[in-house]
Amino acid sequence: MNRNVSGFETNQDCAFLGAKGIHQLQTRLLRKHLKLCRKHSPYYRNLLEDFDFSDFQIGNLIKIPTTDKSILSEKNDLFVAVPEDEIRDISFSSGTTGAACRITYTESDLDRLAYNDAIGFASAGIGRGDRVLLTCTIDRCFIAGLAYFMGVRRLGATAIRNGINSLESHADIIARLKPTSIVGVPSFMRHLGIFLKENKIDSRCVKRLICIGEPLRDENLETSALGKQLLQAWSAQIFSTYASSEIVTSFTECSSQCGGHLPPDLAILEILDESGNPLPAGAIGEVTVTPLQVTGMPLIRFRTGDIGFMIDKPCRCGRFSPRIGPIIGRKAQMLKIKGTTIFPTAFFTVLDSSPEIAEYYLEASGDGLSDKVEIFVALKDRGIRLDQVAKRIQAKSRLSVPIRELPVDAVRKNVFSTSRKPVRFFDLRKA
């Protein structure tokens, strides 16, 4: 164990400790975290008043109520656990109502963030001497772009901050600076890979694609259609990640590529059912995280709204840390159509694997009793019939869903203009 200048503990090899060692480490850090929350967080002060944390066990977490984005947004200031003069960075995460939700970070939190991303990148094989092209923004109060930059530097690698830029700009960077790894959204990197091939630009220098915002695997941990397209476009390994601004912790795939590893010294993972009860490994439920060693805005049992599952078996890489499987969908995006419950990702899977489709998005409408879905697509070539795509969607979902063709520019404007990540689901349903 090492203690950083800012007071935060680093345990770089703790994922290899074994199940018992990880449990002991997390139990100690959890007790410390809960005491900090009760002492310094106005929100948790009353909530935890009657708890005794001297012998508190991880299994006792179920006794503490969960927190979600709506509560964090509504009572935002009550979660800040430090004086204003100790805050070193402010970022924003959109709340469930659409209101901007402030996330505050202390010097210790930023140090923790750099460590978090460094060990994630290291598990994907990045190290000293690598050049890492960052295709995501570091500005606009976006914490992930800053985290990637700090993580790369902490590893002793070189960051190339080209950010959200044109295909031509990234191609020029790749041709001139020869990055060994790229961090970005998979659907964008697919376009970039195709652009490089079409323009005969050599990209063999790139050995790894660190993918953010979109899953690369299905529920069986098999490579998705989007992942296969990345592998076709690049001569590189692909690594999936999962994170959010609130939990300030990343789950990153290792070389075995069978789920994103949890940093055991930074978070405790639960998968909860609708009633908030913990589910066993392999069961599908809501991803819930207690981020450890956070001081600025500490949280306990934060329900992310994402649906996934946990893998608790030791990994082939030698790590014993729990892993998170691919995100199956957003809880708020679950659809009920003619008695069938389905997530938009079921449609995405078909559309991603359809060679006719250049871009797409979905719109959901309805009055609360039954949802309706309409799919908007841009085709790669004129004259292509959509009936084959419709048949594939019906075979996958057992639903007949209307599909409308739009110009590619119109579809891309919707997909890429409203968020830092591509938005392919638009919820127009009435509450």
334-427 has the same fold as 1-328: no
The span from the CA of 241 to the CA of 147, in Å, is 13
Query: Dihedral sign, CA of 325, 297, 277, 426?
Result: negative
Type of residue found at 130 = D
Which residues in the chain land under pLDDT 50?
A: 5, 95-97
The span from the CA of 147 to the CA of 284, in Å, is 29
* φ, ψ (nearest 5 deg) of residue 373: -125, 135
Distances (CA, A) of 79 to 297, 332, 358, 428: 6, 23, 43, 31
pLDDT, residue 2, reads 60
Boundaries of every domain in the chain: 1-328, 334-427
Which class for 384: exposed (0-12), middle (13-18), buried (19 or more C-beta within 10 A)? middle
Backbone dihedral region of 160: left (phi > 0), alpha (psi from -120 to 50 degrees) or beta?
beta
pLDDT, residue 94, reads 57
DSSP letter, residue 50: T
DSSP letter, residue 48: T
Report the residue count for the chain. Answer: 431
Distances (CA, A) of 355 to 359, 362, 401: 11, 18, 19
pLDDT, residue 202, reads 96
The span from the CA of 181 to the CA of 392, in Å, is 35
pLDDT, residue 53, reads 92
Q: Which two tokens stand for residue 178?
A: 């020869």
Backbone dihedral region of 105: left (phi > 0), alpha (psi from -120 to 50 degrees) or beta?
beta
Instruction: Give residues with Cβ within 8 angstroms of 425, minimum separation 6.
Output: 330, 333, 344, 361, 362, 364
Instruction: Give CATH for domain 1-328.
Output: 3.40.50.12780
- Identify the CATH homologous superfamily for domain 334-427: ANL, C-terminal domain (3.30.300.30)
pLDDT, residue 431, reads 62
pLDDT, residue 48, reads 95
